[in-house]
């Protein structure tokens, strides 16, 4: 009974780690103006802090799984990553120069790269196959909450504590995660419900690679809209300054609700129908943006995009881990994390390019184009049968 209680707690503790990682990656968008003023650097330089984190994370996550995960237990990787993350956040809060802060951000990304894919792989090893979707949704809820709430949280903390205090507060949350992980994650947690690893099993990446292009495309689609969400609400839909926080709060609530719905439905109806529901629903809400919606309906439609977008992540991860042997779960989930950050970068860059060269009205056009391309790739993936093309080979 005690072991079962611990196993039930572990995914929620891992969700806290994902929240800290997500908030760390996006917090610069909230603290940036105060930070650049204090360090006397150009406001545009704050973008390098976001880029450095994303690029480091995208490269380090699969590399760490390919090397360190072969010789270190998941608990060890998570504790090491959490310690690096906490230390780098405190370092960031004390940084005396922009260069020192940039190095600290790279260290934060390295810590996060050890935690995120390992957490997802560990969580699904604790439960039977028919509960993978629910447990992935639990762990991923932390990142979802950070994605939709990280910037407002960082901005609010900056107003109360200054930018150094805001980053230090995130660092304290990371230290709290270290303590919880050390206490609640048992040393044998990774083998609780998992089959014995077979080092002779080989990883076939054809089908996972095609599937990962869907992750890039879906995240790119979402961030074409999310990157300039405030401007869309204010200029395109006419949301007032007073109504903007309420609209963003609604966006966040619906984003978390989408992740929860994915967890509840993924194991019941299967991941593939949910992926297509996410595609279709997001396309519908993006199409509604061409109408003269006004502030109230505009806020609801944007929140609908958040719901349909977050409906995608859990079934996508379930499909990925279903394609490979258990010993490779961490690696393909690391690749999925890298694909997510690549999608965020691509979508944000496209949003800026469209807004600056054409106008805000072009954002849903660009998002729909990316979504259509992603759907085509997903259809192509459907022609690859894992039973035929993705197989486990054993050395004789």
Q: Do 275 and 144 fall into the same domain? A: no
**Whether residues 139 and 217 fall in one domain:** no
Say whether both 167 and 215 belong to one domain: no
Residues 6+ apart with CB under 8 A from 224: 347, 348, 350, 351, 354, 363, 366, 367, 370
Number of domains present in the structure of the chain: 2
CB atoms within 10 A of CB 356: 8
pLDDT confidence of residue 331 = 75
pLDDT at 284: 94
Confidence at residue 206, expressed as pLDDT on a 0 to 100 scale: 62
- Cα dihedral sign, 143-147-149-155: positive
Considering the domain architecture, whether residues 262 and 140 belong to the same structural domain is answered as no
Whether residues 41 and 165 share a domain: the answer is yes
Dihedral angle sign, alpha carbons of residues 347, 352, 356, 357: negative
Residue 395 forms part of a structural domain: no
Domain boundary residue among 191, 218, 239? Answer: 191
Q: Which residues, 6+ apart, have CB-to-CB distance to 45 below 8 Å?
A: 36, 98
Are 28 and 136 in a shared domain? yes
Q: Are residues 216 and 182 in the same domain?
A: no
Query: What was the pLDDT predicted at 91?
Result: 94
pLDDT in the model for residue 135? 82
Number of H helices, E strands in the chain: 14, 0
Same domain? 185 vs 304? no
The residue segments making up the domain with residue 91 are 2-191
Alpha-carbon torsion, ordered 278, 280, 284, 289, to 10 deg: 60
Pick the closest to residue 69 from 197, 240, 218 (CA basis). 197
Q: Which parts of the chain register pLDDT below 70?
A: 1-7, 43-44, 47, 188-207, 326, 380-396
Instruction: Among 142, 162, 191, give the residue marking a domain's end.
Output: 191
Please check whether residues 185 and 298 belong to one and the same domain: no
Structural contact between residues 328 and 203, judged by C-beta atoms closer than 8 angstroms: yes
DSSP state for residue 115 in the 8-state scheme: H
d(CA 249, CA 254): 9
Which CATH number do you get for residue 63? 1.20.1250.20
pLDDT value for 383: 45
Verify that 330 and 228 share a domain, yes or no: yes
pTM listed for this prediction: 0.74
Q: Is residue 200 part of a domain?
A: no
Q: Is there a single domain that holds both residue 215 and residue 183?
A: no
pLDDT of residue 381: 62
What was the pLDDT predicted at 205?
61
User: What's the token pair of residue 40?
Assistant: 């006397």
Do 221 and 185 lie in one domain? The reply is: no
pLDDT digits (tens, 9 = 90+) for 88-113: 999 999 998 989 999 999 999 999 99
Provide the terminal-to-terminal Cα distance of the chain, rounded to the nearest Å: 41
Reported as half-sphere exposure (CB side, CA atoms, 13 A), residue 134 has a value of: 11
Residue where one domain finishes, among candidates 162, 191, 220: 191
In a domain, 391, yes or no: no
Q: To which residue do tokens 């505009």 refer?
A: 298
């Amino acid at each position: 009974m005690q072991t079962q209680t611990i196993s039930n707690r572990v995914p929620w503790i891992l969700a806290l780690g994902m929240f800290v990682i997500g908030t760390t990656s996006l917090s610069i968008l909230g603290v940036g103006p105060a930070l650049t003023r204090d360090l006397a650097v150009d406001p545009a330089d704050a973008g390098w802090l976001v880029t450095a984190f994303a690029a480091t994370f995208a490269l380090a996550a699969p590399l760490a799984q390919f090397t360190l995960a072969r010789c270190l237990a998941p608990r060890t990787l998570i504790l090491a990553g959490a310690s690096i993350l906490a230390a780098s956040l405190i370092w960031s809060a004390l940084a005396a120069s922009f260069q020192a802060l940039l190095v600290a951000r790279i260290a934060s990304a390295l810590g996060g790269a050890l935690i995120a894919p390992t957490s997802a792989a560990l969580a699904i090893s604790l439960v039977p196959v028919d509960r993978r979707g629910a447990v992935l949704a639990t762990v991923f809820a932390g990142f979802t909450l950070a994605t939709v709430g990280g910037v407002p949280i960082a901005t609010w903390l900056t107003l109360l504590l200054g930018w150094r205090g805001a980053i230090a507060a995130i660092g304290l949350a990371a230290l709290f995660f270290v303590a919880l992980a050390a206490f609640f994650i048992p040393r044998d947690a990774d083998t609780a419900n998992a089959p014995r690893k077979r080092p002779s099993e080989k990883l076939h990446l054809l089908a996972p690679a095609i599937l990962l292009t869907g992750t890039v495309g879906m995240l790119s689609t979402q961030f074409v809209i999310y990157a300039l969400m405030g401007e869309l609400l204010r200029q395109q839909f006419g949301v007032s300054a007073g109504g903007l926080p309420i609209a963003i709060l609604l966006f966040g609530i619906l984003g978390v609700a989408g992740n929860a719905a994915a967890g509840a439905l993924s194991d019941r109806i299967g991941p593939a129908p949910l992926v297509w529901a996410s595609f279709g629903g997001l396309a519908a809400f993006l199409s509604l943006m061409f109408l003269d919606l006004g502030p109230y309906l505009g806020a609801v439609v944007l929140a609908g995009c958040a719901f349909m977008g977050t409906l995608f992540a859990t079934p996508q991860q379930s499909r990925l881990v279903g394609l490979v042997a258990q010993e490779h779960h961490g690696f393909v989930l690391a690749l999925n994390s890298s694909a997510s950050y690549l999608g965020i970068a691509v979508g944000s860059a496209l949003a800026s390019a469209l807004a600056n060269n054409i106008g805000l009205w072009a954002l849903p056009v660009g998002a729909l184009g990316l979504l259509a391309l992603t759907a085509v790739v997903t259809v192509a993936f459907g022609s690859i049968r894992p039973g035929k093309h993705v197989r486990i080979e054993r050395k004789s």
